[in-house]
């Protein structure tokens, strides 16, 4: 089995591990330890809860993002200022200033609320 890499074991455990390793056809200490760790985790571990992946951007959200980016570029204003105006100004003012139709305004506001960093 060779020399231990990360942990040391006493002589009695080393002999037991060699017998088990031979029985299972394991040739190296890392193979034995990986199997032992896997067994230990399976017996005593708790399932790891992975963070869910954020939802993919929808076509509507992509459209809102691109429209805001275009407004930022053509009007030479920061994204924060454009978004703040869309959120705070009346529908008539937003239509006059940014040419966003009042029927689309609620979609823009929902998008900004969902995606803003707080």
Domain match, 79 and 98 both: yes
Q: pLDDT digits over 50-87, tens only?
A: 888 877 889 999 999 999 999 999 999 999 999 999 99
- Total number of domains constituting the chain: 2
Q: 7 is in which domain, residue-wise?
A: 1-49
66 and 88 share a domain? yes
Is residue 74 in some structural domain?
Answer: yes
For residue 5, the model assigns a pLDDT of 52
Angle between helices 79-88 and 91-98 (to 10 degrees): 140
Question: Is residue 40 domain-shared with residue 79, that is, in the same domain?
Answer: no
Whether 54 is covered by a domain: the verdict is no
Q: Quick: pLDDT tens for 90-118.
A: 999 999 999 999 999 999 999 999 988 75
Residues 45, 68, single domain; the answer is: no
Task: Please tell me whether residues 110 and 64 are part of one structural domain.
Answer: yes
Which pLDDT value is given to residue 80?
Answer: 93
Q: What is the token pair recorded at 83? A: 């978004």
Residues 103, 64 share a domain: yes
């Amino acid at each position: 089995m060779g020399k231990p890499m990360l942990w040391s074991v006493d002589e009695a455990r080393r002999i037991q591990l060699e017998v088990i390793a031979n029985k299972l056809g394991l040739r190296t200490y890392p193979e034995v330890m990986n199997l032992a760790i896997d067994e230990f985790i399976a017996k005593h571990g708790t399932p790891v809860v992975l963070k869910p992946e954020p939802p993919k951007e929808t076509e509507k959200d992509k459209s809102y993002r691109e429209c805001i980016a275009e407004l930022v570029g053509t009007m030479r204003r920061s994204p924060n200022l454009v978004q703040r105006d869309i959120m705070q100004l009346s529908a008539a003012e937003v239509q006059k200033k940014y040419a966003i139709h009042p029927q689309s305004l609620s979609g823009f506001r929902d998008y900004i609320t969902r995606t803003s960093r707080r």
